[in-house]
Amino acid sequence: QQQVKQSPQSLIVQKGGISIINCAYENTAFDYFPWYQQFPGKGPALLIAIRPDVSEKKEGRFTISFNKSAKQFSLHIMDSQPGDSATYFCAASRRAGSYQLTFGKGTKLSVIP
Amino acid sequence: EAQVTQNPRYLITVTGKKLTVTCSQNMNHEYMSWYRQDPGLGLRQIYYSMNVEVTDKGDVPEGYKVSRKEKRNFPLILESPSPNQTSLYFCASSPQAFPGQGYNEQFFGPGTRLTVL
């Protein structure tokens, strides 16, 4: 059972455009939703995270939008740059649990000049 | 420098030959975990450890063993590797393991690419 569904699998965006990656979850007990960024040959690294008590969180060009009723959250990358080209993973976990992260399958983003 | 290290980074082996992938963190983290990453499947948790001598299965534990004798080390053991264990493996650690202590960022190692022939 896939608890976090991520789409699209791959995404090509022009430099300066907006990249949007979507995730949906099933377990209503999830209460922490991080996004991890992975560059080729590297391990994933935390990019930005949100708790369900807010509907949006912004850090620089990166924004998470969260819709609790729809059980969906998305990552928006504004003014996308070639340096943003990476694989992005959404994830979810429960504060009341063991801090296990359930990851989506990932989105490979390519930003072309 | 605070980091998670894994060794080896690359390994080619043959079916049935026991191997160990080491993982070490220098951040005094309680929680450690192993993931495997496969194309189209994302990151799947193999085993995790809440603290020394406390380990538990993740989503795909079959064919793997772990141990946590020291806080900083969390080796992954493949007793009899098979070709379906060919994958990219990541070790990760987090500061705290128990609820009520906030949300935890997981810090990942650089990965170990394993090929089993």
Give the pLDDT band (50/70/90) at residue B78: very high
**Which pLDDT score, from 0 to 100, does residue A93 have?**
85
Confidence of residue B84 (pLDDT cuts 50, 70, 90): very high
pLDDT at residue number A31: 86
pLDDT of the residue at B50: 87
Of A10-14, A66-70, A96-100, B53-57, where does mean pLDDT reach its minimum?
A96-100
Provide the residue type at B52 as one letter.
V
Is the pLDDT at B62 greater than 90, yes or no?
yes
A53 contacts: CB under 8 Å, gap ≥ 6: none
CA B81 to chain A, closest CA, distance in angstroms equals 23
Supply the DSSP symbol for A100. Answer: P
Q: How far apart are CA A33 and CA B34, in angstroms?
A: 20
In this model, does residue B10 exceed pLDDT 70?
yes
Which residues neighbour B101 within 8 Å (Cβ) at sequence distance 6 or greater?
A: none
What pLDDT was estimated at residue B111? Answer: 97
Distance CA B76, CA B3 (A): 18
Give the residue-averaged pLDDT of A32-52: 93
Give me the half-sphere count of Cα atoms (radius 13 Å) on the Cβ side of residue A78: 8
Residues in chain B within 8 Å Cβ distance of A96: 99
B86 part of contact set with chain A, CB < 8 Å: no
Q: In this model, does residue A99 exceed pLDDT 70?
A: no
